[in-house]
Amino acid sequence: MSPLTITVQDAATGPVLEITGDLDHHTAPELRKAVDGLTIAAGQLLVLDMAALDFCDSSGISALLSARSRAIDHGGDVALAAVPANTARILGLVGLDQVFASHPDAATATARGSVAG
């Protein structure tokens, strides 16, 4: 079990959260709290960088959906970056690959053309 670490960075497109470790029943509230503490302006993109994510269960998926809802409620959008293969598979099985924009890395997600309109 890897502890969860969330690092917040600012990009021209909006906030970027680097999620490291396990996103599960015990740690999903930490992601919700981190997202709740963000200022997401209309037109901004919240990027969830999952390059160092080790594990994600259904509670983690629920926290990702909660982050998406918060971004949309503030007039923004959300994108996932560097989604691990096992998590991408789960997102695909439940149809969430059609809900979340996904990028190979955070730099691609925060490129000028990725900003929500």
Residue whose pair of structure tokens reads 């190979």 in the numeric block: 104
117 pLDDT tier (thresholds 50, 70, 90): very low
Query: Residue 69 and residue 81: Cα distance in Å, rounded?
Result: 17
For the question of whether the overall pTM of this predicted structure is more than 0.85, the answer is yes
Q: Lowest mean pLDDT of 9-13, 98-102, 108-112, name the range.
A: 108-112
CA separation for the pair 79, 114 (Å, rounded): 9
Residue with token string 């594990």: 55
- In order, the DSSP letters of 53-72 are EEEE-HHHHHHHHHHHHHHH
Q: How far apart are CA 4 and CA 56, in angstroms?
A: 11
The per-residue pLDDT for range 13-26, each reduced to its tens digit, is 999 999 999 999 99
Which residues pair with residue 46 across a beta bridge? 78
Phi first, then psi: give them for residue 9, nearest 5 degrees: -130, 155
Contact (Cβ atoms closer than 8 angstroms) between residue 20 and residue 4: yes
- Return d(Cα 83, Cα 66) in angstroms, integer: 17
Residue 114 confidence (pLDDT) above 80 = no
**Residue 4 banded pLDDT, cuts 50, 70, 90:** very high
Domain locations in the chain as residue ranges: 5-110
- 57, two tokens: 């269960």
CATH of region 5-110: 3.30.750.24
Mean pLDDT along residues 47-60: 97
